[in-house]
Structure 1
């Protein structure tokens, strides 16, 4: 009996513990359910409307300074972070706003009322939640947007500008501004700029007195900075729906290349030096309207448009590539170009060869220029290369032995007038020797009677 009692008590104790565990488990499930439910998202964390991004760490760490503003913050990502670096230009923003209101003959309340409805739409362009309330966000749009419109209205030249304007009276400021305004992280949505431009457009005219489009004002401003009128060649009609200033610049660069066929794979090809030794020639494109991406291969000749390389080229290309990597519907055209140039350029010798052909106008050292191309697209991907067919043709031509033999013959025996003369003399001597040998043999077998 005692044993049975002990067994029953043990069963009751076990049963009680089971109930307590079940109850505790139920409480845990309920608590976890509530916790997880509160963290669920109804909307995508990265909707299709996002077009302004922080540069991914894997890309940024290769060249941090190329993605970081020097003197001015535009948009929310770097707002309030610059300290002394941004202090001067924050004051210039306030001054430019006042001047723009005077030019447009409008009041500040009218301007704010004209853009306040863009709050939600503009927020949706940024690829992360913003720690700004509506008042702070609208204030940022007004200050930053009006600064840009007034800056573009003034134009790139420093002639006849207010002598008190630091943008045009401090030689380094404008160069830093050009850099900062083309950063992916330092953008305002284009529709915000368009709204402010239309509200203040009364005085936005060219020197001939005709109204100038916002697109023209922006491009005219940046042409001076890029140091190359060719790269922003506006031979094509542009669609007016840009995402931001960086997207406008990219669109102008790639517009003539839009109709090129896209392949799925880009075979790796040898560098310029190796291809030259195999008989492939490099020539500068003769078309003044060619975009820098318009590279052709035909009958053993690679034709390439001219490209200027200096300290400004790197940040521009890096931010264009970062934009292509982040924005879902942006074709990887600049990235494809970077991959092709990395294939072609391995060393300073390749840079020198392209410079001799006037394809590259290099303001860096040959070593730095080669390193620029070798590092440009690191840690990126190419979805559908635009040079797959070209690289396949180059590879096929390079792998034909006959082409290599003919080039070796030309290089070893026809590389100078004296070499040609020596070869001709040797051939004449050989012919004469053969004729003499034939004559001697003929005399032996058929002696004269």
Structure 2
């Protein structure tokens, strides 16, 4: 009892009657509490990009040509109309081509997967009932597998197919299919792949990686070892991230002394490539790569004043690709922040267009765009992101230690040994100092020697 009257609590009005509105609100509140569940279960792996990240560059997260999954379905029918018609046509052609597959059998199979598939999305997708959701899974899943099947083999491409006879279409699709919001669960894709390509012994992961290798200027950026094909894949963006980070080698020892005073897991800045170069730091790309391995772009090292950085090609796909991979790392609970860490370190090294030019000269960056664009790309890339367990903390510590030890040496070289005349002057002054000290010592010995 809190000593307040029912009137003070709002449960009765001044006449003493019960406040029915309060009872109804309390009842509704209890119903809401009984229905409350976690808004983001651990099964979620396909997310709507948080607004704080989206606002940095809206276009990097927005599909232009095709909607995959529920998030953008029905949002702009005119924009997606062409490919929606292609989806229907692809499914019709599939059913004609493969007599072992019927529409009813596909519907039944998707019914079995519907609940699990819904659980993969961060949004409950209430705008799609069971029939609409199953229709989406069938059309999108069939479209993607047929696309991956036809792309490498012109014999499988129909002359009336706008995906392949309109030159710009594939480029648009590369962009849209690598968006975090534009994904189907991997087990849905595998279901269709096993039905359509039952005789194909090439893993779906390899087929997808080969498809996206044509989307970037440097195909070697994507690698996926067949021996590691048992790794659980959640969707296409997850596969692409895995292909980028799976060969990352941790060579960063724990920082025994935290000289910065900041938590060890947080990123700590180092000077730009131009500033480091002026301080005597050298930049180079790896000399020898393992046979058959393109080299992981994350394997950046610093030793004895030398930065070794695997090459990176910067083109139109670089910005949206990295932004969506980083958004995935920010949202999914089981993702380490490796791509985000890479973006932070590259932002440290690339401050201005001159830094881009320096790394281009060393063969580390192949820039298909302007130097100004490339520098702005990395300067803005990780804005409003969080970096947990920064993977380059040991590297940054070694860079700072190198600069601390070599700063006096570089200053001495710059101030006193920059030209032959300055070197001669330094040694002449040194000799003169020695002679002066010797003379003073001799005079002191003369006046203080016993008579």
TM-score tier after normalising by the smaller chain length: 0.7 to 0.9
C-alpha distance in structure 2 between counterparts of 1:36 and 1:258, whole Å = 52
Report the alpha carbon displacement of residue 237 of structure 1 after superposing the two structures with TM: 2.2
Report the alpha carbon displacement of residue 115 of structure 1 after superposing the two structures with TM: 2.1
Report the alpha carbon displacement of residue 275 of structure 1 after superposing the two structures with TM: 0.9
Q: Secondary structure at 2:366's aligned position in 1?
A: strand
Identify the residue that residue 318 of structure 2 maps to in structure 1: 313
TM-score normalised by structure 1 residue count: 0.83
Cα–Cα, structure 1 residues 18 and 320, in superposed 2: closer, same or farther, change >3 Å? closer
1:66 to 35, 60, 71: 60
TM-score normalised by structure 2 residue count: 0.83
Deviations 1:119-144, CA, capped at 9 Å, x for gaps? 11100111012111111100100000
Q: Is there any run of 5+ residues in structure 1 with no aligned partner, and where? A: 1-13, 206-210, 442-449
Equivalent residues in 2 for 1:356-367, closer than 5 Å: 356-367=361-372
Deviations 1:378-427, CA, capped at 9 Å, x for gaps? 11101111111111111111122x4453377279967xxxx6xx569958
Cα–Cα, structure 1 residues 230 and 305, in superposed 2: closer, same or farther, change >3 Å? same
Cα–Cα, structure 1 residues 412 and 363, in superposed 2: closer, same or farther, change >3 Å? farther
Q: Note if 1:248 corresponds to 2:249.
A: no
Identify the residue that residue 74 of structure 2 maps to in structure 1: 80
Identify the residue that residue 101 of structure 1 maps to in structure 2: 95
Q: Note if 1:237 corresponds to 2:232.
A: no
1:115 to 106, 110, 114: 110
Higher alpha-carbon Rg = 1
Cα–Cα, structure 1 residues 190 and 160, in superposed 2: closer, same or farther, change >3 Å? closer
Identify the residue that residue 178 of structure 2 maps to in structure 1: 182
Identify the residue that residue 338 of structure 1 maps to in structure 2: 343
Report the alpha carbon displacement of residue 194 of structure 1 after superposing the two structures with TM: 0.9
Identify the residue that residue 302 of structure 2 maps to in structure 1: 297
Cα–Cα, structure 1 residues 429 and 58, in superposed 2: closer, same or farther, change >3 Å? closer
C-alpha distance in structure 2 between counterparts of 1:176 and 1:56, whole Å = 23
Report if aligned partners of 1:271, 1:343 keep a CA contact under 8 Å in 2. yes
Kindly report the root-mean-square deviation, in angstroms, between the aligned alpha carbons of the 2 structures: 2.9
Q: Secondary structure at 1:297's aligned position in 2?
A: strand
Report the alpha carbon displacement of residue 258 of structure 1 after superposing the two structures with TM: 6.4
Identify the residue that residue 33 of structure 1 maps to in structure 2: 26
Q: Secondary structure at 1:257's aligned position in 2?
A: coil
Identify the residue that residue 405 of structure 1 maps to in structure 2: 409
Number of aligned positions between the proteins: 408
Equivalent residues in 2 for 1:259-408, closer than 5 Å: 259=250, 264-288=265-289, 289=293, 290-400=295-405, 402-403=406-407, 405-406=409-410
Q: Is there any run of 5+ residues in structure 2 with no aligned partner, and where? A: 1-6, 255-263, 440-451
Report if aligned partners of 2:283, 2:309 keep a CA contact under 8 Å in 1. yes
